[in-house]
């Protein structure tokens, strides 16, 4: 908590002369609030079909963030929202997905 303000913060240095972030001496310190990362969780149907066809057991649950994708076989989720929106499908084409904050996702491998 920063000066009575709830939330998570990162400390940055700011160079007043050049208006860019800098770790140099003489720069001012400031705090920026860190927003929780959004995670989209969906089932990759192509992997499910391939597993069925080839008798494999590859992970088909996909956790997608702006940093990339993680595939797993079991996920424990707290405070998630199940969304069905065919008119606004996500980039993979999924029309039903779970949306939550990444800090609420526990990947069980």
For 25-78, write each residue's pLDDT tens digit.
555 555 666 677 888 888 888 998 998 899 898 988 899 998 899 998 888 888
Give, as one character, the DSSP assignment of residue 54.
H
pLDDT reported for residue 80:
84
* DSSP states of 70-81: EEESEEEESS-E
SS3 (DSSP) at 51? helix
- Integer-rounded Cα Rg, in Å, for the chain is 20
Average pLDDT over residues 8-29: 52
d(CA 105, CA 98): 11
Average pLDDT, the chain: 75
């Amino acid at each position: 908590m920063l000066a009575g303000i709830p939330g998570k913060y990162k400390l940055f240095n700011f160079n007043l002369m050049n208006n860019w972030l800098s770790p140099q001496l003489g720069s001012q310190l400031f705090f920026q609030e860190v927003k929780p990362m959004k995670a989209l969780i969906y089932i990759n149907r192509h992997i499910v079909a391939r597993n069925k066809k080839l008798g494999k057991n590859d992970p088909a649950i996909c956790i997608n963030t702006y940093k990339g994708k993680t595939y797993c076989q079991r996920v424990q989720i707290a405070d998630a929202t199940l969304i069905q929106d065919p008119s606004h499908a996500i980039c993979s084409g999924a029309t039903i997905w779970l949306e939550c904050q990444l800090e609420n996702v526990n990947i069980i491998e």
